[in-house]
Structure 1
Amino acid sequence: MTGASRGIGRVAAERLLRDRPDQLLLVVVRGEEAGRRLARELAERTGNANVRPVSCDLGSLAEVRAAAEAVRAMLDEREIPPLAGFLGNAGVQMASAAKVTADGFEATFGINVLANYLLLRLLADRFEAGARVVLTGSESHFGDFRHNLGLVPAPRWTSTRDLARPGTGPEAETVTAGRRAYSTSKLGVQYLVHAFARRFPELDVYAYTPGLVPGTGLARDAGPIQRFGFRWLLPLLWATPIATSPQAAGVKLAAAMTTARPGESGAYLDRGRVVPSSPESYDEEREEELWRGSAELCGVPVS
């Protein structure tokens, strides 16, 4: 599991440890010390010590490779049971489109799309048949007011190589550009889910959206006014159908991994319900281009 240290991911990790005490939870965390601390805190809060950290900065493809190698080595030595699933919850939303990963990629695309792609590619052959893969998506990939209240601009898809290139100039430094990069990356998550579902029929691969979840650290890279609003004002919407609390969203995220098979592989889970994702997200040509482009950028074979 990635993204287990805060927000809905922290709630989901605790829920998984409580509901599945017989399974080992591997949490992918940036930094060895942070990983040990998170594993210790999760064990103390849940009473289940069946959790181990894997050190990885998802903003570095070299570290993603090292993390995958560490997991493969543990599997080879039978230190851990066969992989029964993957919950890719880590994600970022930046205040601009100009920030870069360690590899020079635009940070939102690099972490939300390329890191998930590479980690799954490197571990795909080690999952049990019937294993479940869930990637956290976002309603923002629809790009309309009904799904994001106008808070995030609509995605703007181009080519994989162009999307991985950081923005330049004054426009790229704006919050609007950062949020558009976010919605575009979440459209990319939909494409990844469809492409993985086609290529790995022995796995069940889903995109999960928690809906609007104010009160988390997702907007931590925004300015002070935006952070204040997301942290303290928008949570007033928890009492309405428009928004979901981090606690409720985290419980549903964990359920996406543990409940009976929710639908056909490749489905979009809106707070646990199978619904169609955006019309734009069903573009096999884009999905295949993203697969090929990501393979090239990550240095792995296309097939």
Structure 2
Amino acid sequence: MTQSDITPTVLLTGPTSGIGAAILRHLSVHPSRPRLLLAGRDPDRLARAVDASRAAGLHVHPIRLDLADLDSVADASSEISRLVEDGDVPGIDVAILNAGAQFTDRRHRGVQGWELTFTVNVVAQHSLLRGIRPLLAPGAHVVMMGSSTHRGKRASFHLIPDPVWQAPELLATAQPLPAGNERPSAEREAGGIAYASSKLALVTLAHRWAKELAEDGVRLNTYDPGLVAGTGLGRDMPGYRYWVWRRLMPAMSVLPGATTAGVTARHAVELALGDAHADLRDGYVEIGRVTRAEAITFDEARQADLWDWLERAADARSVEPIRRRTP
């Protein structure tokens, strides 16, 4: 453990299913017996996760968080701030920003009107980090959830298309509502590109956040869980595709670059709590192995452009007021 607090306070987003639920199971048996702030969207599933963690003897606070809605993100940050101010929990020692989303088209929108994949995977992550930054304890550690899809389709066994970088306002723009004659394959391609592009943006953003948080004495690293088939990530797939994803695709876990939720969760917790790679800063860890993010994610001009747009998006919380600044 590298945290100054022997019993660390851990914020985990998306703890109710998939990798997040597996991370929670590992946290529940970790020797440090962490205090938990569990942030999730579904109140019933969140309550069950809280009950299970309390049954394991942990001190737990549920936080309602819907990453599709920036107002919910702001409310969650305010709730955590209240808990800290009231002395219910100390500052946050570890933040595992696990929650994310993938959709089978690019037509969904978040509450504020931006394309939903980009909203959940990028805009909301930035907004949440802005909100909790003052609550991070000295020496804290933030882990953002990357993806091999930011490298291109070869890294995802050709299951996800290559990412396509665009100006942030274009990445955040949803396609129009369907006219009714769309080809399913084209819709899936657009949804896959949106997901891969959002992860490319998130990894790019992580480098800038690592620099920002270093000024506060806080570490940030990106964790790539590998291909973990069978999770709820593709929950809006057609029924038969989702059945294949849930029931047959987990057999791919024996391949290099693929794994199970339990295995990748163990590595994620080891990284987050400092049991592994305790001195790593602005690193990229794939299923427990330190690698390096794609070179393009280190482009400082791209980082600055993305950061500038996200700052304005987080402040405006609606599509219309967002305009590119003039030099």
Determine if the TM-score, normalized by the shorter chain, exceeds 0.5: yes
- 1:206 paired to 2:218: no
Between the aligned residues of both structures, percent identity stands at: 28
Pairing partner for 2:66 from 57, 70, 74: 57
Distance 1:117 1:188 in 2: 11
The residue matched to 2:29 in structure 1 has which SS? helix
- 1:95 paired to 2:104: yes
Distance 2:253 2:166 in 1: 35
Which stretch shifts more, 252-261 or 198-207? 252-261
**Structure-2 residue corresponding to 1:224:** 239
Which stretch shifts more, 275-284 or 222-231? 222-231
Pairing partner for 1:40 from 51, 61, 67: 51
**Structure-1 residue corresponding to 2:189:** 176
Q: What whole-Å deviation, never above 9, does each CA across 1:27-64 have from its counterpart, x for those lacking one?
A: 101154443232012333xx123121101211110010
Classify 1:155/1:76 alpha carbon distance in 2 versus 1 (closer, same or farther; 3 Å). same
Distance 1:217 1:273 in 2: 25
1:244-283 paired onto structure 2 within 5 Å:
244-258=259-273, 259-283=275-299
Pairing partner for 1:75 from 73, 81, 84: 84
**Structure-2 residue corresponding to 1:166:** 174
**Structure-1 residue corresponding to 2:158:** 150
Classify 1:264/1:238 alpha carbon distance in 2 versus 1 (closer, same or farther; 3 Å). closer
TM value normalised by structure 1: 0.93
Which stretch shifts more, 234-243 or 212-221? 234-243
Q: What whole-Å deviation, never above 9, does each CA across 1:99-123 have from its counterpart, x for those lacking one?
A: 0011111000000111110011111
The residue matched to 2:234 in structure 1 has which SS? coil
Which stretch shifts more, 226-235 or 58-67? 226-235
Distance 2:76 2:213 in 1: 21
Distance 2:249 2:213 in 1: 39
RMSD: 1.9
Mapped contact 1:75–1:82 kept (Cα < 8 A): yes
**Structure-2 residue corresponding to 1:16:** 27
Distance 2:240 2:29 in 1: 37
Classify 1:144/1:30 alpha carbon distance in 2 versus 1 (closer, same or farther; 3 Å). closer
Q: What whole-Å deviation, never above 9, does each CA across 1:275-297 have from its counterpart, x for those lacking one?
A: 11112222111111111100111
Mapped contact 2:117–2:198 kept (Cα < 8 A): yes
Classify 1:121/1:134 alpha carbon distance in 2 versus 1 (closer, same or farther; 3 Å). same
Mapped contact 1:135–1:193 kept (Cα < 8 A): yes
Distance 2:257 2:126 in 1: 31
- 1:293 paired to 2:309: yes
- 1:3 paired to 2:14: yes
Distance 1:29 1:154 in 2: 30
Structure 2: any 5+ residue segments left out of the alignment? Answer: 1-11, 317-324
Distance 2:257 2:187 in 1: 27
Distance 1:255 1:171 in 2: 43
Mapped contact 1:118–1:298 kept (Cα < 8 A): yes
Structure 1: any 5+ residue segments left out of the alignment? Answer: none
The residue matched to 1:128 in structure 2 has which SS? strand
Distance 2:126 2:268 in 1: 20
- 1:194 paired to 2:203: no
Which stretch shifts more, 243-252 or 95-104? 243-252
Paired AA for residue 117 in structure 1 = H
Q: What whole-Å deviation, never above 9, does each CA across 1:209-259 have from its counterpart, x for those lacking one?
A: 111111111111112232122212221222333420111112112122122
Classify 1:136/1:206 alpha carbon distance in 2 versus 1 (closer, same or farther; 3 Å). same
- 1:240 paired to 2:255: yes
Classify 1:141/1:171 alpha carbon distance in 2 versus 1 (closer, same or farther; 3 Å). farther
